[in-house]
Amino acid sequence: MGMLKKFFCSLFLISSIEARPISYSGGSTLMSISDNLKDSTYYHYSPTYKYSIGVEQVKDKFFDKKFTYLRLTYLLNRKNTKNSQRNLYFQSALSTDNLNDNFYGMHGDWETRRLFSGFGYKKVINNFRDFAEQYFQLGIAPYQGNYGDFHTWILMKTRKNSLVGDWKTYPVLKFFKGDFLFEIGYDSDVDWDVHLMYRF
């Protein structure tokens, strides 16, 4: 049961930080995520807008252990229009502790200044039990701020983990201004999910 919690928690963290997987060319991103079970710090660098490489440090509060992942995200497809952007990404990661612990998957999003939708699928392979996760996300911006303003998004996220078996749906609020982003979600099972991001 402990291991299941560990895997579920790791998966939850991984899914949450996929919102901005690649920066602009030469850009770096620092992320921090915290909930009742885990603290995570993830840094990634984007040599081009096509891919990012990064390191994620996860502190497991439940087992009082630390894990380190090497991550790669690649932009498979992007469609820019005047009023929207659509993305499709491939992602992968290897644990530095054990190369048999890894994951791969795809996720995508489509957004306008008013609407956001996203999905993701991930297959996690490890020494204990392989599992998969999928999620969908829908959001709306209650107002359309100008460049440099304080921006707000209201989202609903629903996810299914093959280890747990049922869908979880919970609200997420996202705020950003300048290079800072703050996201907070709540679910009775996973408790508070707090996400900070700084891009430079």
Partner 1 sequence: MKKGYFLTIFLISLFAWADDDHHKSHTMEMEAHSHEGHKHEVMVDGRKLEVDPDRFDKFVDGQKNFHVAVISVNGMVCDFCARGIEKTFKKDKSVQKIDVDLSRGKVLVLYSLSAKIEFEDIKQKILSNGQNATDLQVISI
Where does this chain bind partner 1 (CB under 8 A)? 20, 22-27, 48-49, 75, 78, 80-85, 111-113, 144-149, 151, 176-179, 181, 199
* Residue 70, CB-side half-sphere exposure with 13 Å CA sphere: 7
Measured from the CB atom, the residue of 94 and 196 that comes closer to partner 1 is: 196
Q: How far is the CB of 57 from partner 1 (least distance, A)?
A: 23
Q: How far is the CB of 64 from partner 1 (least distance, A)?
A: 34
3-class SS of residue 50: coil
Q: How far is the CB of 94 from partner 1 (least distance, A)?
A: 26
Q: How far is the CB of 179 from partner 1 (least distance, A)?
A: 6
Measured from the CB atom, the residue of 128 and 182 that comes closer to partner 1 is: 182
Q: How far is the CB of 69 from partner 1 (least distance, A)?
A: 24
- Answer for the pair 40, 67: CB distance below 8 angstroms, yes or no: no
Measured from the CB atom, the residue of 20 and 123 that comes closer to partner 1 is: 20
Q: Which residue has tokens 């990404």? A: 89
CA nearest neighbour of 181 among 53, 55, 57, 19 = 19
Measured from the CB atom, the residue of 110 and 119 that comes closer to partner 1 is: 110
Q: Got the DSSP string for 26-52?
A: TEEEEEEEE-SSEEEEEEEEEEETTEE
Measured from the CB atom, the residue of 60 and 183 that comes closer to partner 1 is: 183
In whole angstroms, give the CA distance from residue 17 to residue 124.
Answer: 16
